[in-house]
Amino acid sequence: MEFQEEIRRKKGREKIVMLTAYDYQMAKILDETGIDLILVGDSLGMVVQGHKDTKKVTMEDMLYHTRAVARGAKKTPIIGDMPINSCNTVEDGLRNAKRFLEAGAHGVKIEGNKPEVIKALINAGIPVMGHVGMLPQLSETYRVKGKNPEEAEKIFQDALELDKLGVFSIVIECVPESLAKSITEKVKAPTIGIGAGKHCDGQVLVINDLLGLDESFKPKFVKRYANLNSVIKDAVSKFVEEVHTGRYPDKEHTYH
């Protein structure tokens, strides 16, 4: 069964789990956890490159990280996040989506409602994941979208159109739970929420947020399942102490 059909089949039956990965080591770990999808997100602009948003991420950046993830994940389908300005035209969209597949991705995610591009990709046999709600590539500030009726209706209609185009799933980001619920109940494609409440067909988080790597970044929707920031600092502190005191390297960790 094609992976996108397997994802579609889960709607209303089994929750979908997607996490981001940006490198070989993390992809290899996630590949053994039983999650449904790995997203090579353009969020790497923030968590890997240190930018304030995703707007400076290039196709070359995305392809580099997609190749690394593909070396580590051998079982889990990989979705490449089309970065800003990579699919402004049908020609650009087709060319860059094919580059993602060549790099090891199994499908691509496109932010916003770009019907001509999405239709062309799907017609070319390229699986497309939609993305509505808060769109980091377009937003000047990161905030909840769809609180006023006009904005909510636009998001709702965009989701309906993406569904009609044939996307295999739709990410809903940072919207009121009631809006995400309405979309999920109306569309045939499974919805994957991030800051969109419990009624979506699945959930996605940035792996760095889930693992608690950045103590300064914690939007309301992020739940930390570990605090690796402290774990890493503690481990490095112990290493520094043992080097300074001469306890490392000891006999056990020295070649003879």
Angstrom CA distances, 14 to 49, 105, 207, stand at 35, 24, 21
Calpha distance 157→58 (Å, rounded):
29
Active site residue 153: no
In DSSP terms, 171 is beta-bridged to 131, 192
d(CA 167, CA 128): 5
Query: Exactly one of 173, 241, 242, 252 is catalytic; which is it?
Result: 173
What amino acid occupies position 118? I
CA pair distance 129, 164, nearest whole angstrom: 13
Helix residue ranges, H only, the chain = 3-9, 24-30, 44-47, 59-72, 90-103, 115-123, 149-165, 177-186, 207-210, 228-245
Structure tokens that stand for 91 in this block: 């020609």
Number of H helices, E strands in the chain: 10, 8
Catalytic center residues:
173
